[in-house]
Structures are given as C-alpha cells and as structure tokens.
C-alpha cells in the first residue's frame, strides 16, 4: 500500500507515530536491563523510564511522582473506577456519576454496582448539564461520590466544563476523574489548576505508540488496592514489568506535543474551520455536531441528511481518504452513536455521522482530497433526491 497516496484523517482513533518517537522506541528496545534491577543495565533502563515520566507529567502540569504508567487509557480508567480510589483518611466512594457521553472505558469499565451509578444528561451541544449535576450532588448528601466526566468527547470533540464541574464537586466533597484521552496533547491541561483528583490518558492519541497509557492521581488521593497485583512496580499501584519502549515513546510524544501545543492547536483549528466552511458550501444542509460548544481544534463531526455513514465511508476510502463514523472502539461496526443519542440527535441523522479528525501530519492537500471525495458522494445523493422528487 502506498500510504503517501492516501489521506489519513482519523487521528481520534489513533495518531500515527512521529518519526522522532519511533526512533526513541527503537533505542529503548536495545536497552538490556529491567528498570527494577539495581545493576548498571537496570539503572540505565530506570533512567529512561523516569525521564519519560517527567515528560508526561510536564504535559499535564503535575509532578512526576503523580504519574503511573498503564497498558492503555482503558486500563487506567478501569483502575480509577475500580472502587479503590479515595482521599487519604476518607471512605471509598459509594456512588458514581458519569456523563451520558462517556467512552465505553468509563461507561462500561467501572466496578460500581448498577444501583450505585447515575448518568448525567448533556445539552444539545453535548456538554454536561451543570444544574442537573448540582441537584444530584445535593441528593447524594451523606454519601461519598465519584464523578467521571471526560475532558473532550472522542466523537464530537466537545470540551467539557471541567473547572465548573470540579467546583460543584468540591462544594459537596465529591471526587472527580476525567478521561483525558482525546484532550491530552491537543489542548492545555493542568491537573492541579483544574483541581482534578484523577486523570487518565493514552499515548497513541498524541502520536505515541499504542499499548501504553497513564493515570495521574492528585496529592492525598490513592488507590487503596493495586489494580494489578504481583509486584511493587509503579509505586505499588500497578504490578508488572513496565513496557519500557512504549513508555519512552509516550514520553517523547508528550514532550513534542507540549512544545508545539499552542501553535499546533491554532494550525489544526484553522484547517478544521476552513474545511467546515468548504463542506457547507458543498452541502448547505450539513449539520455539525457540537457546533455550539468549545471543541477540540482537530475534530469535525458532521452529517448530511439522507447520507448513510457506511456508504460515505466506503466511497471516501476508495477515494484514498480514511475517516470514521465515530468511535473506533466498536469493532469496526457502523452503529448508532450513544453520544449523539444523548445529545438528542435523531436516529436518521445520527446514522450519517462522519468524524474527521486531523493531526500532526495533516496538510491542505489532505483536506482537498477529502473535499473531492465528499463532493462526489453528496452530488450523488442530491442527484438521487432530484430524481425522486
């Protein structure tokens, strides 16, 4: 396959590894030692692991010792939502509040009994209803509550009001976790400034390798029980020998993302907005999901009434363009999005949802290729409409 002849616009599914990151991973693969060994080889491995921990911590404005490496963002979220998260000296949470648009790693990855879980509705733009959250917290008075709201949605790119959510939580003594898998490396995130108790992320979303993630716990917040038992690695929070090449790659990707965060965000937002305007000219009845809310600079979620996502995805793929119908965590299936359903989008319109997500290697020629493929698909749709009229 000649990948250079194609345009990859599915960075929210995974962002291709940067060459610098691949080089860092390759070097780490040659290191002979185990990071837990005390000989010279082990100390060398420990040094590069801790360097990577510092790089990830810097991306999130936190201290290196707050970062625990995991095998994925899903594992990290499962660990936080296992029921073991707590503030030191305080009881474990007995109730979980989750937004209606969470990724499955949160919605289906927690260990709370069904009767202890409540969903938080979102508005038509996809943002958590703060008035409802406040009411739920008042109703839970006397209980220890854990709130889990993602920093940004994987399908629409809608950014949640985390500062306001944390303020409400603090007033009621609740803990707050945020799945920041889509946001990390794309928008500024400062864990201490936000006041989050826990944050989770994944390396492959910001051009690191697949198969490595991390969780960040605030000072005074612990996992009472290690998520993986069997060793003392990762400050006894997660047993098992660390995936050194993956962690080194994640650290390298985090450092690159941090250094270019503002400039790259502006570049991608400009490309995204230019593309959106061009597509509206092609399809005046196009709907952009989450348009009324702050969004990730790289994400455009849209639908054209009457255009099926499966049809469009196949046609675009044949045109040399890779996009998605939504989350990539549905085994390759095109199904109705629970995210759009929670936003009140009709089933007919949701069936045509396309997600275009840009990244570090996206250029204007990629958008031009997408526009041409999109125009062919939409022209065919409009032609069929005219014949049926």
Residue bearing tokens 């510092």: 54
If DSSP codes are grouped into helix, strand and coil, which group holds residue 229?
A: coil
Q: How would you classify the pairing of strands 213-217 and 67-70?
A: antiparallel
Q: How far apart are CA 358 and CA 368, in angstroms?
A: 13
User: What long-range pairs does 307-313 form, CB within 8 A, spacing at least 24?
Assistant: 307/352, 307/377, 307/378, 307/381, 308/351, 308/352, 309/334, 309/351, 309/352, 309/353, 309/354, 310/334, 311/377, 312/352, 312/354, 312/374, 312/377, 313/354
Dump the DSSP string for 38-63: -SHHHHHHHHHHHHHHHHHHHHTTS-
CB–CB of 349/270 below 8 Å?
Answer: no
Catalytic residue among 329, 330, 335, 348: 329
If DSSP codes are grouped into helix, strand and coil, which group holds residue 193?
A: helix
Q: Alpha carbon of 65 to those of 56, 69, 107: distances in Å?
A: 11, 11, 28
Q: Residue 105 catalytic?
A: no
148: closest CA among 175, 126, 121, 170? Answer: 175
Helix (H) or strand (E) run with residue 275 in it: helix 261-282
Q: Alpha carbon of 10 to those of 286, 322, 334: distances in Å?
A: 20, 6, 15
Give the catalytic positions in this structure: 329
């Amino acid at each position: 396959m000649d990948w250079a002849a194609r345009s990859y616009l599915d960075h929210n599914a995974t962002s291709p590894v940067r060459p610098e990151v691949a080089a860092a991973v390759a070097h780490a693969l040659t290191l002979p030692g185990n990071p837990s060994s005390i000989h010279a080889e082990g100390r060398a491995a420990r040094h590069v692991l801790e360097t990577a921990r510092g790089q990830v911590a810097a991306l999130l404005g936190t201290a290196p010792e707050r970062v625990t490496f995991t095998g994925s963002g899903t594992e990290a979220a499962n660990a936080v939502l296992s029921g073991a998260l707590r503030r030191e000296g305080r009881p474990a949470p007995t109730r979980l509040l989750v937004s209606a648009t969470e990724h499955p790693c949160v919605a289906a990855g927690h260990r709370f009994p069904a009767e202890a879980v409540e969903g938080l509705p979102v508005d038509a733009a996809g943002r958590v209803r703060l008035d409802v959250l406040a009411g739920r917290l008042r109703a839970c008075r006397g209980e220890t509550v854990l709130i889990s709201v993602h920093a940004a949605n994987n399908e629409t790119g809608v950014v949640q009001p985390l500062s306001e959510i944390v303020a409400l939580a603090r007033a009621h003594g609740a803990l707050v976790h945020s799945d920041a898998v889509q946001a990390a490396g794309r928008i500024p995130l400062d864990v201490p400034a936000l006041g989050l108790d826990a944050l989770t992320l994944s390396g492959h979303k910001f051009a690191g390798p697949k198969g490595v993630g991390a969780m960040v716990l605030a000072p005074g917040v612990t996992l009472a029980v290690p998520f993986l038992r069997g060793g003392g690695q990762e400050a006894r929070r997660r047993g098992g020998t660390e995936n050194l090449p993956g962690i080194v790659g994640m650290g390298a990707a985090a450092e690159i993302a941090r250094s270019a965060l503002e400039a790259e965000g502006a570049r991608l937002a400009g490309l995204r907005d230019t593309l959106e305007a061009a597509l509206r000219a092609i399809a005046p009845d196009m709907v952009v999901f989450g348009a009324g809310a702050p969004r990730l600079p790289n994400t455009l979620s849209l639908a054209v009434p009457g255009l099926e996502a499966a049809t469009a995805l196949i046609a675009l793929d044949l045109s040399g363009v890779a996009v998605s119908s939504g989350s990539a965590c549905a085994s390759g299936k095109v199904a109705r999005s629970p995210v759009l359903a929670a936003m009140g989008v009709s089933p007919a319109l949701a069936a045509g949802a396309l997600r275009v997500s840009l990244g570090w290697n996206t250029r204007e020629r990629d958008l031009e290729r997408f526009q041409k493929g999109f125009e062919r698909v939409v022209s065919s749709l409009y032609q069929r409409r005219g014949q049926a009229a």
